[in-house]
Amino acid sequence: MLAYVLRRLWQMLPTMGGVVLLVFILFNWIGGDPAYLLAGKMADTAAIENIRRQLGTDQPYYVQLWIFVKQILTFDFGNAWSTGEPVSHIIASRLGPSLTVLVPLTLLETFFGIALALAIAFVRGSLTDRALMVACTVGMSISILVYISVFQYVFAYRLGLFPVQGWGDGLGQNLLRYALLPIIIGLAVSIAPTLRLYRSFVLDEAGQDYVRTARAKGLSERRVLWVHVLRNAAIPIITHVMASLPALLIGAFLLERFFGIPGIGREVILAVERSDFPVIKAITVYVAAATMVFNLLADLLYRAVDPRVQFK
Amino acid sequence: MIASHDSAGLWTLAWRRLRADRIAMAALAVVGACLLLVLLSGLGLVADDWEREVALNYAPPTFVGADPGARALAQAQLPRATPPNAFDPLAAELAELKAQLAATDPPLEKRTTLPFGADKWGHDIVKKTIKGGQTSIVVGLVAALLAVTLGTLFGAVSGFYGGWVDDLFNWFYSVFTAIPAILMILAVAAVLQQKGVATIVLILGLTGWTGPFRLMRAEYIKHGAREYVMAADAIGASNLRRMFGHILPNVAHVALVQMSILTVGFIKAEVILSFLGFGVPVGTVSWGSMLNEAQNELILGKWWQMAAAAGAMATLVTAFSLFADALRDALDPKIK
């Protein structure tokens, strides 16, 4: 087990190195010289030289790359170019609001996705099933922008059930007051693709021999689905949930932007708007690392769900 | 000649299966109609004059009816004669300009309603939606073509040669998939800085090749060991010829299905990018920029621009997804 984890971490190194290299090439090479941008409109040569020296962009590329690697390892990316706030503080303070929305959203989405997928599996092939799948396809075709705009307009602006925008200080207040509508919208947007995917996972299992055996033993359909099928369909579901978690951190940027939630996603959008490279670089590298770690966690979870899985 | 009596080819069979699927044919008809509109609009035959301010600001759709008092407003917006100013140094030039303008573009009374309403500047929403659709669909198609071409090329080389070439491309693949797609797109958008249709196509195409790559690599590994490829090798066909002359026609259906799936995804991505202001430049209309404007209009109760852009997009994307699903089933009947 420990040997497996260590080997997997070791295997991540080349990929992580590639991510660092890719981000470095994008921002330090293609991105061009940031000194002109930072020096402002009335810049003289001395000021530009000074900024270059501070950022290290007057050094050769291999020195710059080493600076970048040191920044990643020490979690110290310096200050954001636009606001002067330390990048590490930006990430640390924006993570909380993002998670306040994402953790309940992921839990609810997974729960409803599994429950509905199993319920549909009872009536597979029927008109209800087909109608629901068409409804899912239509629901997926409507842009997330429309969902957010319309829900925000109707439920917050018109009916006044929720605050239109905003964020507070306390976790309880945020969760119950400000994060509620974003979570509902996130659920409405994600339930259609999730349901379609989980339904295919469940139906893949429903045709297996062990299901026939379970039915032949006289087990109720309910027990067959909820116990036997679910346990086996859990592996692709875990993969899906774990793989989508880090992406969701960024993927919720539209919700965060519309509702003024000071999360990671909104920070990325702001950084892109202001060409604030240190912030984007830091978030990209750490999200990539999180993606890889979550993939490893997913593999470890398989073992807990399915004892037949062997770590090789 | 004997072969034609023998059995139908992959594409003929797929077309037959597709023909039998009524939903697929309906979806194909919708997609075809949209593409035809895009073509006509691209040639300048339809919606070329969308930028003419033909109606009042926010003129409602005809089926809703004009606002009371809108008629008076229409009169008020007509250009009125200003009293002559003897001290105006530009009077002569202005008079000349006005005469020119009157000759080429006579002032028209602004309409109080339009078939589907008007936007802030009085543009016809129907024409604007068609023009916006042109941008969004062309971006989606070209970006998908770029992504699939890159993915096929990389996948072919990687799967066909194997060894260290395969390792290299797999490393490349794992690096690109470690970064979530949307973050990758935003990072590239931040670096490239310049807005434009070509930029969005590049961003989406360069970040979207991983899906096709994985599938095409698997196909090339599978086909590389088949007898027909070995036979081609035996008669001295070069590597390139075997990869693209012999194997590619046999795996092209995978690329085609990938392309239709990616097009849907890229149309959605373009809409979001343009909405955020990282997409099309000012002056170009796309469904994303329309939704951006419509978001503020909705608060004023002017729902038609959002309804038009969202409805057009939902119709096309639904039809395209249904068609992509049917195409996958028709071309690969084993997978259901």
* A157 interaction partners in chain B (CB closer than 8 Å): 299
Q: Is a pLDDT exceeding 80 seen at residue A184?
A: yes
* B132 interaction partners in chain A (CB closer than 8 Å): none
State the count of interchain CB pairs (< 8 A) between A and B. 119
Per residue in B39-60, pLDDT (tens digit) is 988 888 777 777 777 777 777 7
Stretch A16-20: mean pLDDT: 90
Q: Measured between CB atoms, does B171 come within 8 Å of chain A?
A: yes
Indicate yes or no: CB of A18 within 8 angstroms of CB of B186. Answer: no
pTM of the model: 0.83
Q: Is a pLDDT exceeding 60 seen at residue B77?
A: no
Q: Is a pLDDT exceeding 70 seen at residue B88?
A: yes
pLDDT on residue B335: 47
Per residue in B138-181, pLDDT (tens digit) is 999 999 999 999 999 999 999 999 889 999 999 989 999 888 88
Query: Residue B2: which pLDDT band, with cuts at 50, 70 and 90?
Result: very low
Q: Measured between CB atoms, does B39 come within 8 Å of chain A?
A: no
Under a CB-based contact definition with an 8 Å cutoff, are residues B193 and A275 in contact?
Answer: yes
* A141 interaction partners in chain B (CB closer than 8 Å): 313-318, 321
pLDDT on residue B3: 46
Stretch A177-182: mean pLDDT: 83
* B313 interaction partners in chain A (CB closer than 8 Å): 141-143
Per residue in B101-144, pLDDT (tens digit) is 776 665 566 676 777 777 777 788 888 888 888 889 999 999 99
Burial class (CB in 10 A: 0-12, 13-18, 19+), A43: middle
Cα nearest neighbour of B23 on chain A? A134
* A21 interaction partners in chain B (CB closer than 8 Å): 175
Under a CB-based contact definition with an 8 Å cutoff, are residues B197 and B133 in contact?
Answer: no
Indicate yes or no: CB of B299 within 8 angstroms of CB of A153. Answer: yes
Per residue in A110-122, pLDDT (tens digit) is 999 999 988 888 7
pLDDT on residue B169: 92
Stretch B228-239: mean pLDDT: 90
Mean pLDDT of chain B: 82
Most confident by average pLDDT, A87-101, B130-144, B291-305: B130-144
What are the CB-based long-range contacts (under 8 Å, 24+) for A203-209? Answer: A203/A121, A203/A124, A204/A233, A205/A229, A205/A232, A205/A233, A206/A121, A206/A124, A208/A232
Nearest CB partner across the interface for B313, out of A143, A247, A250: A143
Indicate yes or no: CB of A142 within 8 angstroms of CB of B189. Answer: no
CA separation for the pair B206, B147 (Å, rounded): 6
Indicate yes or no: CB of A145 within 8 angstroms of CB of B272. Answer: yes
Low-confidence winner among A112-121, A190-199, A238-247, B237-246 (lowest mean pLDDT): A238-247
Residue B277's closest CA among B206, B208, B194?
B194
Indicate yes or no: CB of B182 within 8 angstroms of CB of A27. Answer: no
Residue A267's closest CA among A20, A82, A28?
A82
Per residue in A132-159, pLDDT (tens digit) is 888 888 888 888 888 888 888 888 888 8
Per residue in A46-85, pLDDT (tens digit) is 777 777 777 777 777 788 888 888 888 887 777 777 777 8
Query: Residue B1: which pLDDT band, with cuts at 50, 70 and 90?
Result: very low
b/e string for B150-186 if b means 16 or more Cβ within 10 A? bbbbbbbbbbbbeeeebeebeebbbbbbbbbbbbbbb
Residue B149's closest CA among B34, B248, B47, B37?
B248
Indicate yes or no: CB of A292 within 8 angstroms of CB of B178. Answer: yes
User: Considering chain B, what percentage of its residues have pLDDT values greater than 90?
Assistant: 17
